[in-house]
Structures are given as C-alpha cells and as structure tokens.
Structure 1
C-alpha cells in the first residue's frame, strides 16, 4: 500500500465530522445574498413610488415586500440550521422557495423599470 491511498475503514463508528470553516462561509454567503435582495427590493420600491402612488405601484411594493420577507425567513432558517454539528442539506422545498422569491424580485424589478 502506498502512502497516497486512504486507509481502509472498518464497520466501526464513523469519526466525528470536522466541518472546518465551510458552515461559516455558507452563512456569510447567505448574508450577502439577503443583503443583495434587500437592496434590490428597496431600489424597486423607490423606483415604483418615485413616479407617484398608483394602484400598480402599491401592488408592486406589496408583492416585493412579501417576496423579500419570505426570502429572508427562508435564509434565516437556513443560517440557523448551519450551526448544528452536522447540518442537514437544503430541502427541495426551501430551494424552490428561494428560487421563486429571486425570480419574483427580478420580475417585479422589470415591471417597475419597464
């Protein structure tokens, strides 16, 4: 056996996981993403209300705020789950919610600008 090959593992207990800095990097990435989403939402609201208040602008602001709050809630739950010694993977439902909120914020931004 050469020194480059990993040692064989027996059927015994697995060693404790050492996640290193990966959970912290992931938490920081979620924080940067939520900050970007908040800035985009604030700019969209500013643009929507910049031309006067109308029913369309109020609806756009309300939907933007809703999408941002759902996104922030999902991101917060994910950041909390990363504090566990062995964090679980992001569920398909949570990933779908994040993608949906991101797409919704993009669409609302296009509606405001267009």
Structure 2
C-alpha cells in the first residue's frame, strides 16, 4: 500500500499546506537574479576597462538588455510565489526565456572578454 498519503485523497489536496516551499523558491529566484546582475555589471566593467571598442560596448549593452529581460521574468515569478495559495507552474515560454537569458549572458560575457 505504498504511495498512500495521510492527506486523505483529493479532499486533502485542497487543504494542502505548502509550508516554506514558495519562500525557498522565491529566495532561489532572488539569488539567480543577483548572479545575473553580477554578470551584467562585470561585463560593463570589462568593456570600460579594456577601452571603448565596438564589440565590448555591444556585448555590455546586450548583456544589460538581457539582464533587464531576466529581471522582468524573475520579478513576475517572485510576485506569483508571494501570493496566497498554491502558485501555478512556471510556463514553458517563461522557462525558455530564462534559459535564453542565461545562455545569452554567458555568450555576451565571452564576447566582452574576448
């Protein structure tokens, strides 16, 4: 009889207590946002430190643009997690946007350093 929960089936799911999971997830989004901020700032610093070149400035500008896009997605998700009740799942489009922002930040960081 494995897999039977003490919640009592479907009636118990409506009374589900999420505990601290939404808060932990919100904190993870904040840490990831901080990491993206550090990458964007370092890209800008590196572009200024190496002198103003076209590739460096373009990489830093694109890093800042991607960073703003990531902030929009992350802030929206953190707001959802801060609400009352069980938050919905992260949508596929927003998940791809986050992945794309991460890959783009890495690529632009390499372009600035290169």
TM over 0.5: yes
Greater share of residues in helix = 2
TM-score range, shorter chain: 0.7 to 0.9
Q: Which ranges of structure 2 fall in alignment gaps of 5 or more residues?
A: none
Name the residue aligned to 1:31: 30
In structure 1, runs of 5+ residues without a counterpart are: none
Give the match for residue 97 of structure 1: 97
Alignment length (residue pairs): 112
1:55 CA displacement: 2.4
RMSD (CA atoms): 2.3
Give 1:53 shift: 1.3
Distance 1:63 1:18, change over 3 A: same
CA shift, 1:75, in A, is 0.2
TM-score by length of 1: 0.86
**Offset of 1:44 from its aligned partner?**
1.1
Which structure has the larger Rg?
1
Change (3 A) 1:104 1:21: same
Question: Where do 4+ consecutive residues of structure 1 move more than 4 Å?
Answer: 7-14
TM-score by length of 2: 0.86
Q: Deviations over 1:71-110 (max 9, x none)?
A: 0110000000012311000000000000000000000111
